[in-house]
Amino acid sequence: MDYDLIIRNGAVATTDGSFEADIGVRGGVIVALARGLAGTAAEEVDAAGMLVLPGGVDTHTHIDQPPEGAVRQCDDFAAATTSAAAGGTTTVVCFAWQLPGTSLAAEVAAYHQRAAAARVDYAFHLTITDPTDTVLRDELPALIAAGNSSIKIFMTYAGSRLSDAQVLEVLEAARSNGALVCVHAEDDALIGHLTRRLIAEGKASPKYFPQSKPILGEAEAIRRIATYAELLDVPVHIFHVSGAEAAAEVERAQRRGVRLSAETCPQYLTFTAADLDRPGFEGAKLMFGPPPRSPQDHEALWRALRRGVLSVISSDHAPMRFDDPQGKKVAGEGAPFDRVPNGVPGIATRMRLIFSEGVSKGRIGIGEFVALTATRPAKLFGLYPRKGAIAIGSDADLVLWDPAHRGILTHAELWDANDYSPYEGMEVTGKPMITWLRGRRVYAGGQPVGGPGGGRFLARGIMRP
């Protein structure tokens, strides 16, 4: 046997487009790309008429986090990474999440243990919610040096948010130690004020939730963190940009030369605020923050994606069951929107939605699709060239993708531990048929292959100062 795996005759996708070639894999690594590749392999697949994609890299996922109060995210590593594999994603970056008053290092250690069940490869963002001296001075340098070179902070959400002073301290520490800081940027005070006003006015059902988190408050918070990034000269990445004015603020900073990057997520390209107006408590299924905006915002986001203002599409997978006292109904059915936990699952649907809405509808090319879902996130977070590309020497994380498949999304095929999908019933074009992690099948024929586990921790290098 010359190879462990040969995929023949596929259209191999890169950030520049696609070309027809056979792919030869040995030892988990891509070792050959060729026309008419000589040799044999233990597994040979004919990909004629198919795309072969680099496995998706999803750099914004909540997996098996510690519960916050009574709320528990339902996906452990086994569930979330099976769901990832089913969706064509082979690398996830999730959150090693410090709860206030606890040790970040201890959480990372525990997270490593829980992650043993992962079916795809993984890395950790360090979520800092309590930036004590111990955390910033004693723990952080070693944690970053150990390959966790990205930090997540919140500008909103009680229990998670940092004060502006703390934000600045974290940025300073990130700069000293070589980490990228990812930010949930929304104006907390504004959200609190509007929420109180809406609830007081009796506007408490899910459909009012978007009014509590206006895009102007998001844009303003982006401007704030961009100002900090500029003055402290530290790279910052904005999570889940939701619409036109937020993207414009990102661009404005980039034009000044600020080292600011940003992502959006499928939910901001598919839903609108109006979609939350569903009967009963159903709107809670679409409650995530920031909220979705308008069709005009969708097009503004696509334009920003094409122009490179936004360089990543992640899922912000945040799985909470709907009909569950540890999920959306933690405060009961019909609770006011400020008592409903935010977040939706999406790790399995990210690639399909973007392929369908983007590539199939002509908004982006296949090269841009690869860049947004795999290559650029891998590069930004220090995973490239190991991940995010079909290139000699890269891990053989590959997806056999049927570009012509048309189907209806149903929760049944997503393999997460949730009890619903926000995309239930949506018609999409394109589907992952087989997913390989380092040359080994992890998903095929609509089923996970083998048991959980097998994913590896990805230690990442530090960021340039």
Task: Write out the residues near a second copy by the rule CB under 8 A.
Answer: 12, 14-17, 19-21, 24, 29, 31-39, 163-165, 167-169, 172, 187-190, 192-194, 197, 214, 216-217, 219-220, 223-224, 227-228, 230-231, 251, 254-255, 257, 303, 307-308, 375, 379, 384-385, 389, 391-394
Q: How far is the CB of 255 from a second copy (least distance, A)?
A: 8
Q: How far is the CB of 339 from a second copy (least distance, A)?
A: 19
Q: How far apart are CA 339 and CA 344, in angstroms?
A: 16
The distance of closest approach from Cβ of residue 149 to a second copy in the complex, given in angstroms and rounded to an integer, is 18
Shorter beta-carbon distance to a second copy: residue 393 or 451: 393
The dihedral of CA 421, 376, 246, 128: what is its sign? positive
- Give yes or no for a contact between 289 and 62, defined as CB atoms under 8 angstroms apart: no
3-class secondary structure per residue, the chain: CCEEEEEEEEEEEECCEEEEEEEEEECCEEEEEECCCCCCEEEEEECCCCEEEECEEEEEECCCCCCECCECCCCCHHHHHHHHHHCCEEEEEEEEECCCCCCHHHHHHHHHHHHHHCCCEEEEEEECCCCCHHHHHHHHHHHHHCCCCEEEEECCCCCCECCHHHHHHHHHHHHHHCCEEEEECCCHHHHHHHHHHHHHCCCCCHHHHHHHCCHHHHHHHHHHHHHHHHHHCCCEEECCCCCHHHHHHHHHHHHHCCCEEEEECHHHHHCCHHHHCCCCCHHHHHCCCCCCCCHHHHHHHHHHHHCCCCCEECCCECCCCCCCCCCCCCCCCCCCHHHCCCCECCCCCHHHHHHHHHHHCCCCCHHHHHHHHHHHHHHHCCCCCCCCCCCCCCECCEEEEEEEEEEECCHHHCCCCCCCCCCCCCEEEEEEEEEEECCEEEEECCEECCCCCCCCECCCCCCCC
Compare residues 26 and 328 and give the one whose CB is closer to a second copy: 26
Beta carbon nearer to a second copy, 35 or 133: 35
Q: For residues 17 and 49, which CB has a smaller minimum distance to a second copy in the complex?
A: 17
In whole angstroms, the minimum distance from the beta carbon of 448 to a second copy comes to 30
Do 267 and 422 meet the contact criterion of CB atoms below 8 Å apart? yes
Distance CA 169, CA 163 (A): 10
Question: Which of residues 2 and 419 has its CB atom nearest to a second copy in the complex?
Answer: 2
Residue 2: name the closest of 18, 20, 19, 22 by CA: 22
Q: With respect to a second copy, which residue has the nearer C-beta, 391 or 426?
A: 391
Q: What is the closest distance, in whole angstroms, from the C-beta atom of residue 222 to a second copy in the complex?
A: 10
Alpha-carbon distances of 206 from 11, 30, 344, 386, rounded to whole Å: 44, 48, 14, 42
CB 230: neighbour CB atoms within 10 A? 16
If the CB atoms of residues 172 and 275 are measured against a second copy, the closer one turns out to be: 172
In degrees and rounded to multiples of 5, residue 397 shows phi and psi of -90, 105
Q: Is the Cβ of residue 37 or residue 126 nearer to a second copy in the bound state?
A: 37
